[in-house]
């Protein structure tokens, strides 16, 4: 028996939850879709390119260097290291389920996965390469030359490299989380406390921003709606400006893409500045600066239990 007394809404919710193996639930959060059907040759080519260090100027860095799929699609570091071994200015978001986000990067400056790859390869702090160099390097490799000729009528081009990477990344869905199984009708898969946690997540309003199929990733929001997060944290940096760096609109100052909460329990540290070392720390910041509310210790515990049900699988194994 749970030590937490449910509110009336919670009681009604549990009336639904106690029916096992029901039809998919009508909830504001949605389960992950199936992996989209795509050209298998382009997928495999993209997989190889994802692990290819020759995309970087000094052959030191691949996409997989910062996006460890078995670790939730990030690298568990506050700041990933660029081609020169120096830390980047902003925390690396997960590549898992990134295809479901409405924009890419914390400040949303890329609207497609292709545009994201285009930017990273040329970034002076990340791969520091050029597309002319990448195309020349891959064209000189007989294996890549042949693979591109098979997958694309015009062979090795910058556009085709970006498309192959994006095609592969669209397959990187962390399926079969316990919460997805719950949404699909297996309501016994969650414990009573986890169900209460989901209800608290909705009751407190977390779901206003963390919504939809990716439980986030589909809107922009100011960090510090209910208080000055950056003054409280101190040591302002350029990356704190968020979307303002892209638009130069004052209303976009300190505005960021709302991150997905999928696999959040395994992708610490949190936020663009990696300031929250634990999930508990991140929840505290969200309550104080986004909601302006103070949860009970019990409610905080329940919400964290719910968040842990969002961890999916990769390669057939739990993350």
Measured CA to CA in angstroms, residue 49 lies from 61, 81, 127, 162, 302 at distances of 11, 19, 13, 9, 41
Q: What was the pLDDT predicted at 11?
A: 37
Pull the structure tokens for residue 10. Answer: 């919670």
Q: Can you tell me the mean pLDDT for 233-252?
A: 98
Helices 40-50 and 158-169 pack at an angle, to 10 degrees, of 100
Instruction: Please report where in the chains the tokens 């309003």 appear, as a residue.
Output: 205
Pull the structure tokens for residue 192. Answer: 């009573």
Measured CA to CA in angstroms, residue 253 lies from 224, 231, 234, 247 at distances of 11, 14, 16, 9
Query: What is the distance between the alpha carbons of residues 251 and 85, in angstroms, rounded to a whole number?
Result: 35
Residue 293 inside a domain? The answer is yes
The range of the structural domain enclosing residue 239 comes to: 8-32+175-318
**Is 126 a catalytic site residue?**
yes
- pLDDT tens for 247-293 read 999 999 999 999 999 999 999 999 999 999 999 999 999 999 999 99
140 and 190 fall within a common domain: no
Residue 3 inside a domain? The answer is no
- pLDDT of 23 over the 50 cut: yes
**% residues pLDDT > 70 (the chain):** 93
Pick from 250, 254, 248, 249: nearest CA to 220: 254
- pLDDT tens for 95-120 read 999 999 999 999 999 999 999 999 99
109 and 134 fall within a common domain: yes
Cβ-based neighbour number of residue 40 at 10 Å: 11
Pull the structure tokens for residue 168. Answer: 């592969």
Q: Residue 22: which pLDDT band, with cuts at 50, 70 and 90?
A: low
Residue 131 inside a domain? The answer is yes
Question: pTM here?
Answer: 0.92
Helices 40-50 and 142-151 pack at an angle, to 10 degrees, of 150
Q: Which of 169, 184, 201 is the last residue of a domain?
A: 169
Contact between 265 and 178 (Cβ < 8 Å): no
Q: Report the number of distinct structural domains present in the chain.
A: 2
Which phi and psi (to 5°) does residue 288 adopt?
-70, -50
**Helix, strand and coil percent figures for the chain, each rounded to 5:** 45, 5, 50
184 and 265 fall within a common domain: yes
**What mean pLDDT, rounded, does the chain reach?**
94
Pull the structure tokens for residue 132. Answer: 């002319």
Q: Which of 153, 169, 185 is the last residue of a domain?
A: 169
195 and 163 fall within a common domain: no
- pLDDT of 10 over the 70 cut: no
165 and 180 fall within a common domain: no
Catalytic option among 44, 52, 70, 126: 126
25 and 75 fall within a common domain: no
> What is the CA 223 to chain-centroid distance, rounded?
17
Alpha-carbon torsion angle 131, 133, 138, 140, nearest 10: 150
Instruction: Please report where in the chains the tokens 């700041």 appear, as a residue.
Output: 79
The H helix count followed by the E strand count for the chain is 13, 4
- pLDDT tens for 27-65 read 999 999 999 999 999 999 999 999 999 999 999 999 999
23 and 55 fall within a common domain: no
Residue 1 inside a domain? The answer is no
């Amino acid at each position: 028996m749970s030590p937490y007394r449910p509110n009336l809404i919670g009681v009604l919710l549990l009336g639904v939850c106690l029916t096992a193996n029901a039809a998919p639930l009508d909830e504001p959060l949605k389960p992950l879709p199936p992996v989209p059907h795509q050209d298998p040759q382009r997928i495999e080519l993209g997989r190889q390119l994802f692990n290819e260090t020759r995309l970087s100027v000094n052959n030191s860095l691949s996409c997989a260097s910062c996006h460890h799929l078995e670790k939730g699609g990030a690298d568990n570091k506050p700041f990933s290291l660029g081609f020169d071994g120096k830390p980047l200015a902003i925390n690396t978001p997960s590549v898992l389920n990134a295809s479901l986000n409405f924009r890419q990067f914390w400040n949303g400056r890329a609207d497609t996965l292709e545009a994201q790859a285009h930017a990273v390869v040329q970034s002076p702090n990340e791969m520091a390469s050029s597309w002319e160099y990448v195309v020349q390097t891959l064209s000189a490799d007989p294996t890549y030359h042949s693979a591109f000729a098979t997958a694309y009528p015009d062979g090795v081009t910058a556009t085709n490299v970006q498309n192959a990477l994006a095609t592969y990344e669209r397959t990187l869905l962390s399926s079969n989380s316990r919460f997805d199984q719950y949404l699909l009708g297996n309501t016994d898969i969650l414990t009573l406390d986890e169900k209460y946690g989901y209800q608290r997540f909705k009751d407190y309003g977390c779901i206003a921003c963390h919504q939809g199929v990716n439980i986030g990733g589909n809107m922009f929001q100011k960090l510090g709606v209910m208080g000055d997060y950056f003054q409280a944290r101190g040591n302002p940096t350029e990356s704190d400006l968020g979307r303002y760096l892209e638009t130069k609109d004052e209303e976009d100052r300190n505005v960021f893409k709302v991150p997905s909460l999928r696999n959040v329990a395994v992708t610490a540290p949190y936020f663009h500045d990696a300031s929250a070392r634990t999930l508990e720390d991140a929840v505290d910041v969200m309550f104080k600066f986004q909601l302006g509310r103070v949860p009970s210790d019990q409610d905080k515990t329940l919400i964290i239990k719910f968040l842990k049900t969002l961890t999916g699988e990769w390669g057939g194994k739990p993350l």
